[in-house]
A and B are shown apart, each in its own frame.
Chain A
């Protein structure tokens, strides 16, 4: 009789899911997600899409900031590169979405790597400021390169299509977004149990030591910018498809800060953390809106306060997490899970 969780091969020991129970629960959860469009309202599907897109973007940022230790404030700009690339490839050239999305990712990866070059010399806050410069350079380029981007008026993105298949509208786009999110999350999870991902983490923990271990630090920093920006570019492309019309106003610097908040609250250096953080930060304003909406009859002044309330709660959440759970929601999740694993004999 088996009386425990035994692993007999290295492959078993290196598997993503520790137990088959965890794997089954995940498949169940994916099943529910697949059925979501059959019962969710248009409002919640729109939120669902936005959450999944935020998950992809936050995972991208986490690869760069959480795993490689390179703080970036250029994420909003990289999202816009992905979205505008989609507008060009799909709108102007009429390419189908299976070509457009990877292409948008690759273009963003190339742009991200160019703006990653300062990381050779800059670390920490200094690099953050350099990537902030990247944000304004890209924003300036987009508002002034009117022949391609439409300037401040923006440009339109046609619905995702290939052949006769048309993924217009949130309900059909949802399946595409879900498939990409699951695929990219799995890819990231795998990346960090193999050579390249471990080299990223080594650079974060001790860059001199990493170099002495034979990791070409600059090459891997650029690679991290590339992989991260690819994710963000794919997210930007999906945002473009979802919005239909994009303009520079869709990508203000606050988007980059929101995403930094996602990975701080979710957990730096954790794939699961990117998911938790993206869900939390995307849902937060919606839940606040629901609460203030339901209270509007008795307290009419609440609706006018809403805008400032959202920022206040966002800031408060980050402060509370930094104080009480600096490792983010993912760490708390592991604590809770381990508690129940041994329940009721928790010692």
Chain B
């Protein structure tokens, strides 16, 4: 059974159609890429899945349940996590605090438990600190754990955002251009992390990415959007030969994928 099942999404802003009748399925423990030219509706699609946008029509099913009516926080509690294209970290907080926010849905202490900070409240904080430290080790950001996020370089911020999403221990991770604006070395690191997350943690991922080399190498399945419509869906090899996809990218057959 598909982990995520997106059915006939229609989203428009006034007259502009962002998504017209988009459907696709994501199988468990796979990396699923969404590609398409600028303005194809990729981020809108991700926003519909995570609940930031409400589509006019269509449903999103997660683990067989219809989650279309839930708000982003409720979807997160079910096991969805995401990163943003233009980094949306908590800039005034340290890296560690950003990750601890990721533990929010797993923690139970309230105002009194936290304010008194004695017994169960304290033990809970320390237990979750340990989970965060494991993720810090995993993504190799030990040296910046106490740095304020706003002061970090762009590539590191991207990595911290991935770490924060991982702190949620999601079943499905939505990555919006995880490698945008990175140099070759940073891209390699990020690709390695994505593969490791998939293989070691078994986390399913939906990834928007423009770097075709990365998409073709990493993903198990690719969905292609153009002007809000799904024009192709299949394994990378199949998609790269698709005539419609090549036309969408270049207007004519040109051999970008060779």
Contacts and interface: CB of A to CB of B under 8 A. Distances in A.
Contacts of A208: 52, 72, 88
Given A198-B100, A213-B73, 20 more contacts: A10-B126, A10-B130, A14-B125, A187-B116, A190-B117, A191-B111, A193-B114, A194-B114, A196-B109, A202-B93, A205-B90, A205-B91, A208-B88, A210-B90, A210-B101, A212-B51, A213-B164, A214-B73, A214-B168, A269-B92
7 contacts: A187-B116, A194-B114, A195-B104, A198-B104, A202-B93, A212-B72, A214-B76
Q: Which of A191, A199, A213 has the most CB of B within 10 A?
A: A213
A214 B122 contact: no
A232 to B, nearest CB: 16
B89 A195 contact: no
A211 B90 contact: no
A76 B11 CA distance: 46
B205 to A, nearest CB: 16
A288 interface: no
Interface in A191-244: 191, 193-199, 201-202, 204-206, 208-217, 223, 227
Given A14-B126, A205-B92, A216 B101 contact: no
Interface residues of B, number: 43
A216 B73 contact: yes
Contact of B90 (A190, A209, A216): A209
A44 B192 CA distance: 65
Contacts of B129: 10, 14
A212 B115 contact: no
A198 B93 contact: yes
A336 interface: no
A188 interface: yes
**8 nearest A-B pairs in the assembled complex, by CB-CB distance:** A194-B114, A214-B76, A214-B105, A205-B90, A190-B117, A209-B88, A187-B115, A195-B107
Given A194-B125, A213-B104, A214-B104, A201 B90 contact: yes
Contacts of A217: 73
